[in-house]
Amino acid sequence: MANKNTHKVTLMQGSVSATFRLNDREYELLKNSERPHYPHFLYNFSAYTWADYDISRSKRGRFHSIFNYHKGDFYWFDE
């Protein structure tokens, strides 16, 4: 049985944003990557670690094509 992408999440880095559909595992790992005491905030290295190791290959490629490591930290929110 395939994982269903049940969570719609928008990631923002400065003025650049993208919406991703995540399965339960990817969503939980994203929440675990947050900075403590600052919900919905990711340091850029945390966001890239999450993208490189915790999401599917197609989502990873899309993430890297949209965002730039040197442009700052990330915010995310559920839609």
pLDDT tens track for 34-50: 888 888 999 999 999 99
- HSE at residue 69, side-chain half, CA atoms within 13 A, is 8
d(CA 12, CA 17) in angstroms, rounded, equals 4
| pLDDT for 39 | 84
Region 66-75: mean pLDDT is 94
| Residue 66 tokens, joined | 């949209």
d(CA 75, CA 13) in angstroms, rounded, equals 7
| pLDDT for 34 | 86
| pLDDT for 2 | 60
More confident residue, 15 or 2: 15
